A and B are shown apart, each in its own frame.
Chain A
Amino acid sequence: MAEGGDVEWELSKENIQPLKRGRDISALHQALSQQQDGLSSAINQQRQAFESELRMYDGDDPLDVWDRYIKWTEQTFPQGGKESNLATLLERAVTRFTEEKKYHNDPRYVDLWIKFAETCPEPLDIYRYMQAQEIGVTQASLYIAWSEEYENQGNCRKADLVYQEGFKRGAEPHDKLLQFHKALQARVSRQVMMHVEEEEDSDDEPKEPERVCLADLRHKGKKKAIAPVNRTGPAIRSISGGLQSRGAPVLGNASNSRLVIFDENKSWMAPPTSRAKENEQRPEKWCDVKAPPPPKPTFQPFVEESDQPPTMTPCKINPAVNTVLSARKPCREETPLKRLQEHHQQQKEAESGKPQEQSMYCKELLLSGATEFCFEELRAERYFKKMAQESQEARGQKDQASGSAAN
């Protein structure tokens, strides 16, 4: 059994998203084996259970359900992707508790925020937003994640500043923050050393300046548009995502310049003048030139009656495949951060008592979690819960009765 599992995991390595805290190997095996036969009903049932728990919870720690749900999702969908709904879940979770001050420095909540930030296109904006909203400002993990993001973008100075901010706010646990800060410093200094060494190495055999095709150029002067004349060495921007050709430059230009064309005509000192054409047209604007309208047919084109497209064509395509070619929806210009800010704004408006509209139903229950519920589903969940309780009680009574009968 274990062997089979190992093979499976070997086969689908590339489909597994890395998790910061690692993965539970047994959960991974289970997830991978379940995913071979599509989204299994077991997963659906578990998800449904979490969804209903989110709505039925009436204890004093609602974050707990969200936290467990999100951790379960991470473990159950190793590939991530849309069907895991992880990004939606994270967004709903962080939005749900923005007003609850008691969670603002709860490590679980801060972790959710960090995971959320990592799914966003601009994590730095999210961290700044967190700081502005005083979310997680006393948690070391915020500063660590924030600093790592800066470091990834190559801004070590800002990365260091973030740690300084963390120390200033007295983030906990202090040791962890200190440890990560030292690690950052070590990395930075090692990088500097490497650079120095590299430069020394390169001094030994100075390379010919070499033109690089498709490379980004540094701007010169105040006007951004002016590209430098010299397109080698320092003029090329160090970070370039584009293609870089190292080694032999493309032959094209160099050989072209040497290629001499029209050798016989060396004696011609002046370029040949264009022959005087009689009907030469001068270039003119084309914008007022109009094409003559196409002539209308003087007859009625025959259309066979049966040729009319039927009002209802049966769709033979498998619906599951059909979505691939559906019309592209206009992309929305809103980022998760914008939505958060909007939500915040709405909350403020509601508090100040000036909302334009208010929904007269339990909206937060319908729209909690990754999927929406309808009124009937909410009610059915209650009903099923009650039924389960009653049947359990009945069983308990029966057991008691049989126990006493035996006595």
Chain B
Amino acid sequence: MSLFGTSSGFGTGGTGVFGSTTTDSHNPMKDVEVTSPPDDSISCLAFSPPTMPGNFLIGGSWANDVRCWEVQDNGQTVPKAQQMHTGPVLDACWSDDGSKVFTASCDKTAKMWDLNSNQAMQIAQHDGPIKAIHWIKAPNYSCIMTGSWDKTLKFWDTRSPNPMMSLQMPERCYCADVVYPMAVVATAERGLIVYQLENQPSEFRRIDSPLKHQHRCVAIFKDKQNKPTGFALGSIEGRVAIHYINPPNPAKDNFTFKCHRSNGTNTTTPQDIYAVNAISFHPVHGTLATVGSDGRFSFWDKDARTKLKTSEQLDQPITACCFNHNGNIFAYASSYDWSKTPSFWQTPGPMPWCCVYCAWTNQRGLPNLALMTTV
């Protein structure tokens, strides 16, 4: 690929593996396993924007690296390049033209990775690890938004070492999402702040959390005119809230639903509750996918308020997920997410195996219909 200039691949790369080397619980959905997955837990996944030909997937990991794969339509995945941070990578995003990737890390910096030259340079600095990074493309400006555990939200012009703007938050940033002209940040202690990005970013509203437990992931959804109109918020206690910003009838339009729980509805066994690790909206159908520590992913229709499909259970938690630009491919990463008890992570030995899978979706935007269980 000329796009990557002099970039060299990594690992053995080059051939697609269709779950042939793995056991059933490893890849029960028989999805395409991305070659050369990261060596440690995968914290984030992101597909390239529609401006780029082909599909490129990036994934950041706790092994301090960000990798980029090309996902070909014939089901082959080709590792393309990687970049390193000096600490675990917590989030990554693409610029709107697809020429650059931005990465946020525990080393308190964010980097801009130019894919053409395969060069990375630092563009942001916080006093704490950076948990969320997003590219903002407005008509009159474009910038990078970083949310950190130092309780600030900063906006960076990539050319200056100083932020364009720094906004104080009441608590540490836990997750964020941006769809111009709206940004939403969920913080520790169940804080929820909506920002508007027109002209320049400013705080729009603080919202009382619709959830009773710690916020874990948030994703903005759009209305029929393709404008952001609300968000889905996931908590550590197996629940997702659908929240509209300006609903005609707040009591009826906003709701929460349970997910990622064991089927212990009978009274003999308690219901096991898992964390919701990520939420992603299908770019065409508007359905949402949630992934959880229980090792399953589920598809939901928020308008009909129904569950569409749930996957088989993987042997590991699913930590990240994303759709590609036209919703043909659903990628999810199975790796270890730290939700286990202390005794688990104190035992020595190699970290559990980490995998990234790609599932091709049908016309309804659902992957691998035959293998998924209906409601």
Residues of A participating in the B interface, judged by any CB pair closer than 8 Å = 41, 58, 311-316, 319-320, 322-323, 326, 329, 354-362, 365-366, 371-380, 382-384
CA distance A221 to B173 in the complex (A): 63
Contacts A312-B181, A372-B188, A372-B189 known; A319 to B246 CB distance under 8 Å? Answer: no
Nearest residue (CB) in A for B202 is A314
Inter-subunit contact B273/A378 (CB<8 Å): no
Inter-subunit contact A319/B271 (CB<8 Å): no
Inter-subunit contact A380/B88 (CB<8 Å): yes
Inter-subunit contact B196/A377 (CB<8 Å): no
The answer to whether B272 has its CB under 8 Å from any CB of chain A is yes
CA distance A359 to B272 in the complex (A): 6
* B110-131 contacts to A (CB < 8 Å): 127, 129, 131
CA distance A375 to B182 in the complex (A): 27
- Chain A residues with CB below 8 A from B204, complex form: 312-315
Type the 1/0 row for B122-161, where 1 means its CB is closer than 8 Å to any CB of A. Answer: 0000010101000000000000000001000000000000
User: Which listed residue (B43, B205, B206, B270) contacts A376, Cβ 8 A?
Assistant: B43
The answer to whether B36 has its CB under 8 Å from any CB of chain A is no
- Chain B residues with CB below 8 A from A375, complex form: 236, 275, 337-339
CA distance A76 to B214 in the complex (A): 28
Inter-subunit contact B272/A360 (CB<8 Å): yes
Type the 1/0 row for B333-375, where 1 means its CB is closer than 8 Å to any CB of A. Answer: 0000111111001100000000000000000000000000000
User: Which listed residue (A374, A379, A382) contacts B174, Cβ 8 A?
Assistant: A374
Inter-subunit contact B339/A362 (CB<8 Å): yes
CA distance A106 to B106 in the complex (A): 40
Inter-subunit contact A312/B88 (CB<8 Å): no
Contacts A358-B273, A361-B275, A374-B174 known; A312 to B338 CB distance under 8 Å? Answer: no
- Chain B residues with CB below 8 A from A372, complex form: 188-189, 214
Inter-subunit contact B129/A380 (CB<8 Å): yes
Contacts A312-B196, A319-B203, A366-B214 known; A58 to B342 CB distance under 8 Å? Answer: yes
The answer to whether B177 has its CB under 8 Å from any CB of chain A is no
Nearest residue (CB) in B for A361 is B339
Name the distance in Å between A84's Cβ and chain B's nearest Cβ.
15
The answer to whether B293 has its CB under 8 Å from any CB of chain A is yes
The answer to whether B94 has its CB under 8 Å from any CB of chain A is no
Nearest residue (CB) in B for A45 is B127
* B157-185 contacts to A (CB < 8 Å): 167-172, 174, 181-182
Name the distance in Å between A175's Cβ and chain B's nearest Cβ.
43
Inter-subunit contact B270/A356 (CB<8 Å): yes
The answer to whether B24 has its CB under 8 Å from any CB of chain A is no
CA distance A382 to B90 in the complex (A): 15
Nearest residue (CB) in A for B260 is A360
The answer to whether B33 has its CB under 8 Å from any CB of chain A is no
CA distance A260 to B149 in the complex (A): 78
Inter-subunit contact B205/A315 (CB<8 Å): yes
Name the distance in Å between B29's Cβ and chain A's nearest Cβ.
21
Lowest 7 CB-CB distances: which A-B pairs, in order? Answer: A361-B339, A375-B338, A312-B196, A379-B338, A355-B270, A314-B202, A357-B271
Name the distance in Å between A330's Cβ and chain B's nearest Cβ.
10
- Chain B residues with CB below 8 A from A373, complex form: 188
- Chain A residues with CB below 8 A from B270, complex form: 354-358
The DSSP consensus for interface residues of chain B is loop
CA distance A205 to B199 in the complex (A): 81
Inter-subunit contact B216/A374 (CB<8 Å): yes
Contacts beyond the supplied A41-B127, A312-B196, A320-B168: 15 A-B pairs with Cβ under 8 Å = A314-B199, A315-B205, A319-B170, A319-B206, A322-B203, A354-B270, A360-B294, A361-B340, A362-B339, A372-B189, A374-B188, A377-B149, A379-B62, A379-B88, A383-B88
Name the distance in Å between B150's Cβ and chain A's nearest Cβ.
9
User: Which listed residue (B87, B168, B237) contacts A359, Cβ 8 A?
Assistant: B237
Inter-subunit contact B87/A383 (CB<8 Å): yes
CA distance A244 to B189 in the complex (A): 46
CA distance A376 to B340 in the complex (A): 12
User: Which listed residue (B90, B129, B293, B345) contacts A361, Cβ 8 A?
Assistant: B293
CA distance A319 to B275 in the complex (A): 30
Type the 1/0 row for B186-203, where 1 means its CB is closer than 8 Å to any CB of A. Answer: 001100000010110011
CA distance A313 to B272 in the complex (A): 42
Inter-subunit contact A371/B189 (CB<8 Å): yes
Inter-subunit contact A359/B181 (CB<8 Å): no
CA distance A69 to B62 in the complex (A): 30
The answer to whether B274 has its CB under 8 Å from any CB of chain A is yes
Contacts A360-B294, A379-B62 known; A319 to B168 CB distance under 8 Å? Answer: yes
CA distance A312 to B245 in the complex (A): 9
Contacts A319-B167, A361-B236 known; A376 to B90 CB distance under 8 Å? Answer: yes
* B315-338 contacts to A (CB < 8 Å): 337-338
Inter-subunit contact B246/A311 (CB<8 Å): yes
CA distance A379 to B345 in the complex (A): 10
Nearest residue (CB) in B for A370 is B189
* B199-225 contacts to A (CB < 8 Å): 199, 202-206, 208, 214, 216
CA distance A97 to B198 in the complex (A): 51
Nearest residue (CB) in A for B271 is A357
- Chain A residues with CB below 8 A from B62, complex form: 379, 383
Name the distance in Å between A89's Cβ and chain B's nearest Cβ.
14
Name the distance in Å between A307's Cβ and chain B's nearest Cβ.
17
Nearest residue (CB) in A for B205 is A315
- Chain A residues with CB below 8 A from B131, complex form: 376
- Chain A residues with CB below 8 A from B41, complex form: 379
CA distance A351 to B346 in the complex (A): 26
User: Which listed residue (B169, B203, B246) contacts A315, Cβ 8 A?
Assistant: B203
- Chain A residues with CB below 8 A from B196, complex form: 312-315
- Chain B residues with CB below 8 A from A378, complex form: 338
User: What are 15 A-B pairs at a CB distance below 8 A?
Assistant: A41-B127, A311-B246, A319-B170, A322-B206, A326-B206, A354-B270, A361-B293, A365-B342, A366-B236, A371-B171, A372-B214, A375-B337, A375-B339, A379-B88, A383-B106
CA distance A373 to B189 in the complex (A): 9
CA distance A379 to B338 in the complex (A): 7
Name the distance in Å between B205's Cβ and chain A's nearest Cβ.
7
- Chain B residues with CB below 8 A from A360, complex form: 272-274, 293-294, 339
CA distance A313 to B338 in the complex (A): 40
CA distance A49 to B206 in the complex (A): 29
Inter-subunit contact A329/B208 (CB<8 Å): yes
- Chain A residues with CB below 8 A from B216, complex form: 374
